[in-house]
Structure 1
Amino acid sequence: MPTALPALLRFLPTLALGIVGGALAFAVNLPLPWLLGAMIATTAASLCGVRLRSPGRGRKGVLVVIGVMLGTAFTPGMTGDLGLWSLSLAVMLVATAVMMAFSVWFSQRVAGHSRETALYAGVPGGVSTVTLMAMASGADLRVVGMTHAIRILVVLLAIPPVLQAIGHVDLAGATPDLAQWLWLPGAADAAWLTVAGLGGLWLGRRLRLPNALLFGPALVSAALHLTGVTHAAVPPTLLALAQVIIGVSVGVRFAGTSLARLGQTLVMASLQALVLLVIAVLAAWIGHLLTGYSAAAALLAYMPGGAPELSLVALTLGIDPAFVTTHHLMRISVLVLLLPALLRMMARRA
């Protein structure tokens, strides 16, 4: 507490800016208002030279909360066909391989980055895990971090127009009234949600899951909800706050930089992100045709963004969060296992 309190106080102005941005976006009916509003406000402030504080440990806590919220999407009445899910996962892995091959080629041949930098910057997702792995290599961490940050920014900004183009989803959704905003779960449900968060945190670290803070609580919460032990839901206020903090987390990654200083990294990363987005759209349509699942769910599952951000979007819009979360967990797990082998293979070819 002695060290956490000053950090929290320093973060409050950033959080306030994110809340104001989210509230303004909500007032003008922007899709995903709390997420995109907070992200746009803090990104603009960062690029204008304003020093913004990162959520720090607060983001870790939010990841645990998001994981618990994602687990609530798994219900005993789920009718998902295992064979169709497996087929969709296969399509996602093929699309990921295509994205990875293009990203590494583009980063090396077009952007001119080193082999290690190209590999870690080209991974379509898992920014936290990938950055930690890149620290033990000769990769340029600034390029890796900025490439992932710009990709997530581009993907999140593209979600509303792309989803509107493919249909299948109401981006406006229902606006909670005051009673819904103030609703809180009962004591028993709150206790089960707490158990899912703390138990999942321990399990995720024990199993060494990629992004353990997110997927550990999601697994435990999913188990509790699938077995019918609890049907606890998360209040809309907490969901909105989680969106604000995730949006702020994206925006503050540009702190200390400017459009002039970003230069080539901004252009190259944006071009790369747009091509990956096109690949994801094509793969999502193929997955939709093969499995019958909505193109919107497939798109959020295949997109080359961060698992917390895209899973939270799925949860917010009610686009099959269980389906989307499962795909991102599979993709990150496979990538983390294969990255060292890919780096060795690239070194031998070089």
Structure 2
Amino acid sequence: MLKIIYILVAILVGAVFNALSVPAGWLLGALVCGIVWSLAGARIVFSKQYFSYIIAIIGTNIGFTVVLERFVTYKQLILPLLLSIVLTIIFGVVLGRYFHKWSGLDKNTAFFCCLPGGASEVIAVSDEYGADQRIVAAFHTTRITLFVLAIPFFAGLLTDVEKQIFAQPADSITVLSFTAVLLCVLVVALLSTWVGVRIPFPGAIVFVSIGLGFIAHTFILPDISMPSVIPGVAQGLMGAILGTRFDRETARELKRIGKVSAFALTIYFGTSILLAGLFFALTSTSFNESLLGIVPAGAAEMAATALSLNLDSTLVATLQMLRVLCLFAALPFLIKWFAKKPEANHDVR
């Protein structure tokens, strides 16, 4: 019952933020609500399966906006994307070395804190190498929360002066059409979750749901547009889950490290903005799309933000997923080169 009450409150706060024209209001409002709720001591835990289903709903919504012609231009982005990924990896390794010196943490803990891979994979592997998993989890949770809070707001401020290529006037929609779209999204998301969890690579659910969402829109509901409230509520649900992850324990672990953690996160954030600027300079994408596509903040989260800002959410999802896949492929090599097994690492406490 408490979870239901919390979800309703979070969505309501998201709706208020959206009504006040806050950039990505549904997402940010629910996220802020979740953070306040968790820091107040009301601990709520959502299952991984529930979060996967919300991601699938977001992906299905993105699938309704897919324009196949744009995929032709994506191949021109491969080299700039690879360059940004290489620079991101180098930056993460270098920051990890300095974070070790600044914070007094052991080398493995500092390394895994700053490794820009998928948060879940990095946190899981860190324990095998004797790193303090609580600090690693706290650092990555804070990183994602910071990016999801700041990036949408920052991007939203710039969206007003940029051309919104997918912006469409609000059309009236009948109750029957709304019900048909809602049922279609829920069913496609359920199917995407079932298929996605059986594909052995990170973020498969996002790609599967986008593809199935595009198919559903093209062949089942070709003449019905997506009502804005459906992706809005989905973004609110995502924000509600993300907000609960930044709880008192996370804040306590960061406090143990002290001001160094805030300094490292600030450098992380600033460098990510610079990498997005580099990608923007080398490609024809807008700065906002470059920003949402390059920063290491989660494919589903940034794609949802792009969708709420009427940007090319398919491009953002594609760039984020390619980044995650490349980093996931490089993760074993990075660990082998820069992390030490506990028995061989005298710094591990």
Q: Secondary structure of the equivalent of 2:69?
A: coil
Counterpart for residue 51 of structure 1: 42
Instruction: Give the fraction of aligned pairs with identical amino acids, expressed as a percent.
Output: 24
- Following the alignment from structure 1 to structure 2, what is the Cα–Cα distance between the partners of residues 347 and 273? 21
Counterpart for residue 271 of structure 2: 279
| Equivalent residues of 2:52, 2:193 under 8 A apart | no
| Equivalent residues of 1:38, 1:244 under 8 A apart | yes
Letter matched to residue 312 of structure 1: A
- After superposition, where does 1:78-117 map in structure 2 within 5 Å? 78=70, 80-117=72-109
Q: Secondary structure of the equivalent of 2:234?
A: helix
User: 1:183: Cα distance to partner?
Assistant: 7.7
User: 1:336: Cα distance to partner?
Assistant: 1.6
| Equivalent residues of 1:55, 1:245 under 8 A apart | no
Does residue 210 of structure 1 match 2:202? yes
| Equivalent residues of 1:42, 1:252 under 8 A apart | yes
Which shifted more, 57-66 or 266-275?
Answer: 266-275
Does residue 30 of structure 1 match 2:22? yes
- Following the alignment from structure 1 to structure 2, what is the Cα–Cα distance between the partners of residues 338 and 264? 30
1:161 counterpart (141, 154, 166):
154
1:65-109 per-residue CA deviation (whole Å, 9 max, x = no partner) reads: 112223333223326424422133223313322332244224322
Q: Secondary structure of the equivalent of 1:139?
A: coil
Does residue 313 of structure 1 match 2:309? no
Which shifted more, 291-300 or 149-158?
Answer: 149-158
Q: Secondary structure of the equivalent of 1:78?
A: helix
- After superposition, where does 1:1-350 map in structure 2 within 5 Å? 9-48=1-40, 50-56=41-47, 57-78=49-70, 80-159=72-151, 160-161=153-154, 164=157, 169=162, 179=172, 184=177, 187=180, 193=185, 196-222=188-214, 224=215, 228-229=218-219, 231=222, 234-257=226-249, 262-265=254-257, 267-347=259-339
Which shifted more, 304-313 or 92-101?
Answer: 92-101
Calculate the TM-score normalised by the size of structure 1.
0.81
| Equivalent residues of 1:202, 1:216 under 8 A apart | no
User: 1:142: Cα distance to partner?
Assistant: 1.4
**Cα separation, partners in 2 of 1:225 and 1:184, compared to 1, 3 Å:** closer
- Following the alignment from structure 1 to structure 2, what is the Cα–Cα distance between the partners of residues 32 and 181? 26
User: 1:347: Cα distance to partner?
Assistant: 4.0
**Cα separation, partners in 2 of 1:184 and 1:140, compared to 1, 3 Å:** farther
**Cα separation, partners in 2 of 1:28 and 1:10, compared to 1, 3 Å:** same
- Following the alignment from structure 1 to structure 2, what is the Cα–Cα distance between the partners of residues 258 and 100? 21
**Cα separation, partners in 2 of 1:342 and 1:66, compared to 1, 3 Å:** same
| Equivalent residues of 1:314, 1:324 under 8 A apart | yes
- Following the alignment from structure 1 to structure 2, what is the Cα–Cα distance between the partners of residues 153 and 178? 34
Q: Secondary structure of the equivalent of 2:70?
A: coil
Letter matched to residue 153 of structure 1: T
- Following the alignment from structure 2 to structure 1, what is the Cα–Cα distance between the partners of residues 116 and 160? 24
Give the number of equivalent residue pairs.
337
| Equivalent residues of 2:109, 2:135 under 8 A apart | yes
1:183-224 per-residue CA deviation (whole Å, 9 max, x = no partner) reads: 84575x6776567535533443343020333333234445x3
Letter matched to residue 310 of structure 1: M
- Following the alignment from structure 1 to structure 2, what is the Cα–Cα distance between the partners of residues 190 and 153? 29
| Equivalent residues of 1:205, 1:212 under 8 A apart | yes
- Following the alignment from structure 1 to structure 2, what is the Cα–Cα distance between the partners of residues 137 and 31? 40
- Following the alignment from structure 2 to structure 1, what is the Cα–Cα distance between the partners of residues 173 and 111? 46
- Following the alignment from structure 2 to structure 1, what is the Cα–Cα distance between the partners of residues 237 and 183? 23
| Equivalent residues of 2:145, 2:242 under 8 A apart | yes
Q: Secondary structure of the equivalent of 2:249?
A: coil
User: 1:287: Cα distance to partner?
Assistant: 1.8
